[in-house]
Amino acid sequence: MDRTEPSPWKKTILAAMTSYIDAGSIVAGAAGLSLWQAYLGMDGYQMGALAALSSNAGSAAVGALIGGRICDKYGRKFVYTYDLLVYIIGMLLIVFGVNYPMLLIGYIIVGLGVGADIVASWTLIAEEAPAENRAKHCGSAQFAWALGPAVVLLISAWINQFGIIGNRIVFAHLIIVAAWVWYQRLKMPESKDWRAAKEAEEKLIAEGKVEKMSYSTILSGINLKTVLFLCGVYSVWNLCASTWGFFMPYIYEHVGNLSNSMSQLMSVGSFVISFIGTYFIFMRLGDKVSRRLLYLIIGGIYVIGWGVWVLPPEMLSMWMLVMFTVFAGINNGSGQQAFYQLWCSELFPTKYRATAQGLTFFITRIAAAVWGFLVPIIMSTLGFRYAAMLMVAFAFISWLVGTIGAPNTSGKTLKQIEIERYGHEVK
């Protein structure tokens, strides 16, 4: 091995930082939304377009779909060498935005870059991680995903008092982080698994013995079952999680009757609990105990947590809100998203691993975009309790699907898992 090649943990950390800038960009937008609305005079439709096309939804979905295919065709390094440059261009439009088109285009470009990078990064982490510590390495991305919002919210709480310039600075700090990560990644080699798979594929193509991958391959047979399983785990769960991420300060205030400062504190506290939970639960236990049991517990407390909001408002007490904050935080760090990232990388072969992950991520973010549009309508017409009932149902379905279908992959190499599932190595 080249002595200058980064260690597995350095590769993991550089790949995981995508989650920091992804979640950070989402929360930075949410934290400064009212400032931009006042600055640009945005109406409801313009704000809705920002939410639907941002890195939390539509543009990230498209970026993941495109990026996943490029990632399998041209390599993981090709994607993570250039996608952060796309992200930085979008961020610059936001930081220096003086009108709505600049802001909207910036949000779209940021989402495209984030979506592509997430697929490449999560795939690379799984392929470079030691089999016996794959959950620990994959969990680092989830740790960064919780750390980003916590840092952004803390910075925003202090600097947003300066108005729109404060929110510009929050976005600018993400440019600095992205630029540093991009520079460090230039030194990273291509995934060994991808190189080996690509060489084998090209040899077989030259001999006329193999067909090139198409989406029909992913949407048939065992692959279709895997896609449905992962969407049942992650896409359904994300309907709750996206609501939690975007609307919780509002819900804490208007349903939980908390002050604005207390609602912000609860939101920050939940993200802090997320990265603590990621480290001490998923990263420390994911390779040592039954993953089915771990999923059963972490998914179960999420159902209980959302059940709090089904109660009549007059029955809600502070300890119930704290319980929801803790349970949601633990689940966010060690629950469905962490398991999805791990299982999606394990259950598909190297040949189309990133493409499959891009497809499932696309489905998840598109569903989140549609649901994000519907939630305010449901809350305003039927009341928040009805929306909460749907959240409980979504959390329960996700919990049930993951608990029943949890695969036994602990400690196995990706090649071993591939042979067990397909009966042979996929070429």
Question: Above 50 in pLDDT, residue 349?
Answer: yes
List Cα–Cα distances, 128 to 95, 132, 342, 345, 413, in angstroms. 35, 12, 13, 11, 11
Q: At what angle do helices 336-347 and 384-405 cross, to 10 degrees?
A: 40
Residue 305 has pLDDT above 60, yes or no: yes
Does the pLDDT value for residue 325 go beyond 80? yes
Q: What angle do CA 260, 272, 358 make, to 5 degrees?
A: 105
Q: Which residue has the higher pLDDT, 266 or 393?
A: 393
Please say if the pLDDT value at position 385 is more than 60.
yes
Confidence of residue 265 (pLDDT cuts 50, 70, 90): confident
Helix count and strand count (H, E) for the chain: 20, 0
What gap in Å lies between CA 342 and CA 197, rounded to an integer?
A: 20
Give the whole-angstrom CA distance, residue 3 versus residue 12.
18
Residue in the structure block whose two tokens are 């998914």: 299
Model confidence pLDDT, tens digit, residues 203-253: 777 776 666 677 888 998 999 999 999 999 999 999 998 887 767 777 887
Average per-residue pLDDT in the chain? Answer: 86
**In degrees, to the nearest 5, what angle opens at C-alpha 48 toward C-alphas 44 and 51?**
145
Which pLDDT belongs to residue 127? 85
Q: How confident is the model at residue 48 (pLDDT cuts 50, 70, 90)?
A: confident
Banded model confidence at residue 267, pLDDT cuts 50, 70, 90: confident
Would you state the structure tokens that stand for residue 245, as one six-digit string?
């991420």
Q: Determine the pLDDT at residue 397.
A: 97
CA torsion sign for 268, 269, 274, 276 is: positive
Condensed to tens digits (0 to 9), the pLDDT of residues 186-202 reads: 888 888 888 887 887 77
Q: Which CATH superfamily is domain 8-422 in?
A: MFS general substrate transporter like domains (1.20.1250.20)
In the structure, what pLDDT confidence band is assigned to residue 260 with cuts at 50, 70 and 90?
A: low
Residue 2 is predicted with a pLDDT of 46
pLDDT in tens, 110-162: 889 888 988 888 888 888 888 888 988 888 888 888 888 888 878 887 777 78
CA distance 165 to 169: 6
Three-state secondary-structure class, residue 227: helix
Of 152 and 64, the structure prediction assigns the larger pLDDT to: 64
Q: Delimit the domains of the chain by residue range.
A: 8-422
Position 326 scores a pLDDT of 94
d(CA 100, CA 237) in angstroms, rounded, equals: 32
User: Lowest-confidence range among 254-258, 362-366, 409-413?
Assistant: 254-258
Q: Decide if pLDDT at 362 tops 70.
A: yes
**Counting Cβ atoms within 10 Å, is residue 229 exposed (0-12), middle (13-18) or buried (19+)?**
buried
Banded model confidence at residue 406, pLDDT cuts 50, 70, 90: very high
pLDDT average, residue stretch 170-183? 90
Q: From residue 74, how far is each of 81, 284, 300, 362 by CA, in Å?
A: 12, 34, 40, 20
